[in-house]
Amino acid sequence: MEQSKEIKAKERYTGTVLKTTLQGALVDIGSEIPAFIHISQAVKDGDAKKPINSIEEVLEKGQKIDFWVKRVRKDRIELTMKEPLGLEWRELKPGMTVKGNVIRLETFGAFVEIGAERPGLIHISELSHSYVRTPGEVVREGDEIEAQVLEVNRRKKQIKLSVKALQQLPEPPQIEQTKSGKDKQEEEQQPEPDLTAMEIAMRQAMEKSESDEANAAKQKPRKKKDFDSEQDNILSRTLEKKVGQD
């Protein structure tokens, strides 16, 4: 049989009752050191809440029955007839991952049986990284899920869990990047393609035409008085020239 040092808490053994006392019973589970069950750890008719006045109400010498290891000490092994919890309060730590079944849904979240004294609560905000309107959108009663322990409050008997803590963060939406000012400047400074002789001549003609039009627009129109005076001068010079010829 296994050595006592190899026997661990919560392990199940079939033992034989060797002796009963006022405090409990001595049991042989094949270990090198004695195994003992206290009367407070005995169960009557499968109901752990039923009161027991004497260990003989439950156990008798020579009886074979299943026990669980409650604690292993140097000089003895303590047994129990109460099936131990999967997770004791001292074993629950923030950050650990647990498995469980959803047993109840409420508007504010979901309760999950994880094998502890009390069910754990997953608040609606901890069900998913996405917006959740009701817990039923994500989980249903009876679902088996994994969650991470966020907080343990033994005094209040509260266990807070999170599903989204085990999920990867969704990738942010891709945003098209606009060109920076430097990129635009470089784009504007790109060299122009080589032009043919015909294209160069046409461009020069267009530029000269635009320059002439601009210069003409800048010149102010002459007044009618100045125009008449110039005509008189031209006419006077023409007559003088004609007389001299005669």
What is the span of the domain harbouring residue 11?
Answer: 4-80
Give the pLDDT confidence of 14-34 residue by residue, as tens digits: 999 999 999 999 999 999 889
Tell me: pLDDT of 190 over 60.
Answer: no
Report the pLDDT value the prediction gives residue 156, as an integer from 0 to 100.
93
Domain boundary among 50, 80, 110: 80
Total count of domains within the chain: 2
- Are residues 93 and 161 located together in one domain of the fold? yes
Is residue 87 within 8 A of residue 116, CB to CB? The reply is: yes
Average per-residue pLDDT in the chain? 83
Question: Average pLDDT for residues 201-211, to the nearest whole number?
Answer: 68
Q: Could you tell me the two tokens for 17?
A: 């009752």
> Would residue 215 count as lying in a domain?
no
Question: Average pLDDT for residues 201-217, to the nearest whole number?
Answer: 66
> Would residue 176 count as lying in a domain?
no
Report the pLDDT value the prediction gives residue 140, as an integer from 0 to 100.
96
Dihedral angle over CA of 118, 124, 127, 130, nearest 10: -170
What phi and psi values does residue 13 have, to the nearest 5 degrees? -135, 150
Tell me: pLDDT of 213 over 70.
Answer: no
| Cα dist from 105 to 75, 102, 108, 119, 126, whole Å | 47, 8, 8, 12, 14
- Are residues 32 and 68 located together in one domain of the fold? yes
Question: Average pLDDT for residues 123-150, to the nearest whole number?
Answer: 96
CATH number at residue 20: 2.40.50.140
- Are residues 110 and 76 located together in one domain of the fold? no
Tell me: pLDDT of 75 over 70.
Answer: yes
